[in-house]
Structure 1
Amino acid sequence: MKKKIIIVIIILFICLSGGLYLFGEITGNQNIATKCVEKINTMRFDQKLEKNVKAVENNKKPSVPKLSEMEVVDVMHKMANTKVIADKKWGFVKITKERIKNLKTIVSESNYKEKEKLLEILNKWEEGNFSEADKDHNFLWDKLGGTVGKAKGVLKEEQN
């Protein structure tokens, strides 16, 4: 019985993935599946972030693994993608006050190698200062080993 359920789930996943792909081909929007996956990944990251923040605030060990420096750099890079001009961008995460606050809490309590630089960027963003978002992006992009998609400038407010 369990094997049948697993097989049905796999078949449904394949059909859903194929349907999203075909929908993208028909409508000319191949990024729909990518956007769905990105949204799910952002939700998972936010849940993990919130659990880590609650643990820090309660001076307890998190119930989920601590966020690695690369996880934080990756989400900050995706946040920076919303503010910069670049030929290619992979992933977008909306910049919110709550996300910035939570990231600052985690980074402040960390021993990350780039702790000071990450806090400097988050402090600017918290103040609504994105005038150096391209430099911030390129720092984060470089930490991720970026080779394509270097920021060439900052989007104007109306472009965001």
Structure 2
Amino acid sequence: MKTLIKTISLTIGVLALLAGAGYYFFTQNSTSGGEITKVAEKIEKREGTDGKPEKTEADEDDPDMEEVDLQILLHQMTHQKISAGKKKGAVEMTQANIDGLLLIVQANKHLYEHGPFYEDALTEWQQGDFSNAVTVHNTIWDWHKGTVGRATGLMSAEEEQEFVERHFR
């Protein structure tokens, strides 16, 4: 009887551990882009009549999104386009996500060390040109002192579709 109880307890413990690990893996490796939408909507709400984002004096030194968070989102968006040995995280490269990040960058670029880099990259993406995705990925990868997963090129259309199906559908 004691052996049965120990076996059941051990099984439940292992299942709980696996469920926790699965949840952690899922939340760490896939992002819906909801944060992008939330921050972009906040900026849009405070835009002035001329269409340019206005910040109050209190907000002048505080970005709407921390630069490191923006870098992570950009980096994870490139995963949809690039070939690499290992990729951690994925944010779908939708027009809405691109537009949202571009709005965030334009409202905060004076506070970002690499503001022009982000704006140039996102402007090209907004126009449908993703040829810079490897450069964007590897530049951010270098800034974060990446050791595995350097981009080696762009994926084929078929590889990208498989990535999208696997991560977002």
Do they superpose with TM above 0.5? yes
Q: What residue number does 1:4 align with?
A: none
Identity %: 28
Deviations 1:7-59 (A, max 9, x none): xxxxxxx999635258x6xxxxxxx641244446743x235423442355253
How much does 1:159 deviate?
Answer: 1.1
Q: What residue number does 1:136 align with?
A: 136
Structure with higher Rg: it is 2
Tell me which amino acid in the other structure corresponds to 1:145: K
Q: What residue number does 1:100 align with?
A: 98
* Aligned pairs (5 A) from 1:89-128: 89-110=87-108, 111=110, 112-128=112-128
Q: 3-state DSSP class of the match of 1:131?
A: coil
- The reply to whether residue 53 of structure 1 matches residue 43 of structure 2 is yes
Q: What residue number does 1:78 align with?
A: 76
- Alignment size in residue pairs: 137
Query: 1:46 and 1:104, CA in 2 relative to 1: closer, same or farther beyond 3 A?
Result: closer
1-structure distance, mates of 2:30, 2:16: 15
2-structure distance, mates of 1:141, 1:88: 12
Query: 1:52 and 1:147, CA in 2 relative to 1: closer, same or farther beyond 3 A?
Result: farther
- The reply to whether residue 34 of structure 1 matches residue 25 of structure 2 is yes
Return 5+ residue gaps in structure 1 as ranges: 1-13, 25-31
Select the structure with the greater relative contact order (CA < 8 A; seq sep ≥ 6): 2
2-structure distance, mates of 1:148, 1:82: 17
Tell me which amino acid in the other structure corresponds to 2:88: W
Q: What residue number does 1:159 align with?
A: 159
How much does 1:123 deviate?
Answer: 0.9
2-structure distance, mates of 1:68, 1:16: 37
Q: 3-state DSSP class of the match of 1:77?
A: helix
2-structure distance, mates of 1:68, 1:17: 34
Q: Provide the alpha-carbon RMSD of the alignment.
A: 3.0
